[in-house]
Amino acid sequence: MFLEIGLFLALVVGLIYLSFKRTFQYFKNRNIPYIESVSFPFGNFGSNLLGKESLATLTRDFYKNYKKHPAVGIFQFNEANLLINHPELIKQCLVRDFSSFVDRGFPTNDEIDPLNGHLFFSTGAKWRMLRSKLSPTFTSGKIKQMFSIIEKRSSHLVTYLEQFDGKEIEMKEFLARLLTDIISECAFGVESNCIENSKSEFREWGKKAFTVDMKGVLVTFLATISPKIRDYFQIKTLDPKMTEFFINLVRDTMKYREENNIQINDFMHFLIQLKNNERIKDDDDVSESKNNQLDGKGLTIEECAAQAFVFFLAGFETSSTTMSNALYELAKNPEIQKQTQENIDQVFEKYNGKFTYESMAELGYLDNVINETLRKHPPAPFLNRQVIKPVDIKWGDENRLVRLEKHLKIIIPVYGLHYDPEYFPDPERFDPERFNEVNTSRRHKYVFLPFGEGPRNCIGARFGFLQTKLGLALLLRNFNFHFTANTPQNFTYQAYSIVLATNEVLKLKIERRFKE
């Protein structure tokens, strides 16, 4: 009996091995250069999956070592992926032939994980439907309506931090609490009060959502590579309690607002309109038409909760990380910090001692600082796409076409591009002047991709940039930031995190600029 079991297991392992070996021949059979140092069963991602290296640095090294090729084949478990290196090919994927690269390649099951049914993960027709319905909620006019919430919460953080004058604080944590307050109020209409209460339920779920371990990594990979197994065993990638919390919160908030006829110009109000299949009027749409029907079908409560959930996660994590990284770089470069504060002071005084939505456009040097921060520390260190219909790409200067077949996964190495000295000389140096008008015009557009590009770029990029900008303006107007003996000189990144998350705790000394 034991012999039979052993032979059966050996047969299964053998069949799996042959399947992997056939996959590892994928690019060789198509005359596409590939990284040959593959290992069973990890492919080229063993150092990451064993916790030795982050995905950001791994894909950066792939790009750096194989940049001579327009693209290079890599293997993730038993999946073939194509790493796109050349800016023109990146443009083709993101814009020119977008119809062939619509999906991100993250298969989800909304019935198992309802909160994963959001715009970021959606595919095909569902993505087009959600993008069409949600786009009017992120126009400049809609974002302007939420400006007062951002200003109120950011000013509150400034007041709260005054008690730490001359002291060392963990900057990332305070900024995460600020952004959680902003997003919870904009997305859910709830005042989470995280600045004072670090144990707020919103803050706890936010931390949990970005806490990754080997178990979570394996579940995610299994759900991605073997969706049939995930579906059969009903494997959830999200904590059921978190799913229940956010769906109940959205359901209760919508019910309360509708029963009491409460209308607040925030994201939740727009979601209520989409639930009821009411047309959200674009700011540029001056039509008086009373035909508000979109497609005869509104979003479900679960779909609304999923959109609010991803707005919450993306809104607080990426912006708080960018803000803390910007303050870190400015503390490391005090002369740049001073120049940034001079720009902020001039605008602040011009607008009679306050920041308005209109004043944000005049903080040009702060724009450069944020963009340079996003270059050095891109929250999304790579972009994913999947071929949904066959497409030909021109292979560099060889004057040949290469057919990319349906289902092939695409990786665009954002972190690698951002550190390429061909595009950003001396890339380790923090230099906001890289993003002045002259330097930007000289550089290929598709080598700086913090928010992606094309029809599937980050829908909330303008909102995220605004809250980052206003928060930094208020903080730098009121405080100086300094390194201490406990501030890391350099960062290393978490191996299992999809976003660019540091292993180090960021501590800075804050000092009030204006004493009473």
Q: How many CB atoms lie within 10 A of CB 337?
A: 20
* One-letter amino acid for residue 466 of the chain: L
Q: Three-state SS string across 335-346, please?
A: HHHHHHHHHHHH
Mark the binding-site residues for heme, compressed into ranges.
Answer: 458
235: tokens are 């494997």
For strands 79-84 and 409-412, give the pairing. Answer: parallel
What distance in Å separates the CA atoms of residue 5 and residue 409, rounded to the nearest whole number?
Answer: 36
What distance in Å separates the CA atoms of residue 115 and residue 272, rounded to the nearest whole number?
Answer: 17
- Between the two ends of the chain, the Cα-to-Cα distance in Å is 84
Q: How many CB atoms lie within 10 A of CB 143?
A: 21
Please, are residues 292 and 131 in contact by the beta-carbon 8 Å criterion? no
DSSP string of 47-69, one letter each residue = HHHTTSS-HHHHHHHHHHHTTTS
Mark the binding-site residues, compressed into ranges.
Answer: 458
What distance in Å separates the CA atoms of residue 281 and residue 287, rounded to the nearest whole number?
Answer: 9
Q: At what angle do helices 461-478 and 334-350 cross, to 10 degrees?
A: 100
For strands 409-412 and 383-386, give the pairing. Answer: antiparallel
What distance in Å separates the CA atoms of residue 250 and residue 347, rounded to the nearest whole number?
Answer: 38
The shares of helix, strand and coil residues in the chain, as percent rounded to the nearest 5, are 55, 10, 35
What distance in Å separates the CA atoms of residue 243 and residue 78, rounded to the nearest whole number?
Answer: 31
What distance in Å separates the CA atoms of residue 499 and residue 94, rounded to the nearest whole number?
Answer: 20
What distance in Å separates the CA atoms of residue 161 and residue 165, rounded to the nearest whole number?
Answer: 7
75 by DSSP, 3-state: which?
strand
What distance in Å separates the CA atoms of residue 110 and residue 129, rounded to the nearest whole number?
Answer: 16
Contacts of 465 (CB under 8 A, 6+ apart): 370
Based on C-alpha coordinates, what's the Rg of the chain? 24
Name the strand (E) or helix (H) holding 470.
Answer: helix 461-478
Q: At what angle do helices 240-259 and 267-275 cross, to 10 degrees?
A: 80
Q: How many CB atoms lie within 10 A of CB 326?
A: 30
Q: At what angle do helices 240-259 and 301-332 cross, to 10 degrees?
A: 110
Contacts of 289 (CB under 8 A, 6+ apart): none
